[in-house]
Homo-oligomer: A and B are copies of this chain.
Amino acid sequence: MTDEVERARARERAADMLADAGVVLTDEERDEMEVVDYGLGDLESVGTEIVVYVNDDRYCAKELVLFPDQTCPEHRHPPFDDYPGKRETFRCRSGEVYLYVEGDGDDSESSDEWSVSPPMREEFYTASEEIHLEPGEQYTIPPDTRHWFKAGGDGAVISEFSSPSYDEKDVFTDPKIDRMAGRY
């Protein structure tokens, strides 16, 4: 478990990275920043720091912060009820991001060719098409498509624009992961 002291420290560190990228937050946004360890208890290697600007029934916008070499683990956003599943656009603001997305069936790119390695529990990283994002570059992920991403050695700030987020509906490849762990 990531304890409250570590979470507070992570918030401060992420807020500093956002400030360096020119992103101004209100005090309330800083205090309410989500620190997600996905229930694995190793925030430094598997985690995401998230500021949600807006998430309503029509659209969603967030900033995602990744510490150096931190990974957001593999997941997909499935359809449910009348909702076709979340589509999301990642725009790199600072640092660099290695994004891996499910390929068109043949999974031609082998993990031998990846620029970075999954953080742990490698068997649960299967999306293999590598997309490298530098500041100003962006990529859109269709609904129900497996993806994971890892920051380069300086960390990364990523703006996410999307259809509404229903985090509790996300499906992670690693069955040990609990997206809602540590929420309060």
Using CB atoms and an 8 Å cutoff, list the residues of chain A in contact with chain B.
21-26, 29, 53-54, 56, 58-61, 87, 89, 91, 93-94, 135-138, 140, 159, 161-163
Quick one: which of B22, B137, B163 contacts A59, CB cutoff 8 A? Answer: B163
Quick one: which of B54, B89, B93, B138 contacts A138, CB cutoff 8 A? Answer: B54
How many copies are assembled? 2
Q: Could you tell me the distance in whole angstroms from the C-beta of A14 to the nearest C-beta in chain B? A: 15
Q: Could you tell me the distance in whole angstroms from the C-beta of A23 to the nearest C-beta in chain B? A: 7
Q: Could you tell me the distance in whole angstroms from the C-beta of A43 to the nearest C-beta in chain B? A: 25
A136 to B91, CA, bound (A): 19
Quick one: which of B29, B61, B93 contacts A89, CB cutoff 8 A? Answer: B61
Residues of chain B within 8 A (CB-CB) of A54 are 89, 138, 140, 161
Residues of chain B within 8 A (CB-CB) of A56 are 87, 140
A91 to B87, CA, bound (A): 22
The reply to whether A93 and B24 contact each other, CB–CB distance below 8 Å, is yes
* Closest chain B residue, CB of each to CB of A87: B58
* Closest chain B residue, CB of each to CB of A157: B22
- Can you identify 12 A-B contacts, CB atoms within 8 angstroms? A22-B93, A23-B93, A24-B93, A24-B135, A53-B91, A54-B140, A54-B161, A56-B87, A58-B59, A59-B89, A59-B163, A61-B91
* Closest chain B residue, CB of each to CB of A54: B89
* Closest chain B residue, CB of each to CB of A29: B136
Residues of chain B within 8 A (CB-CB) of A93 are 22-24
The reply to whether A22 and B25 contact each other, CB–CB distance below 8 Å, is no
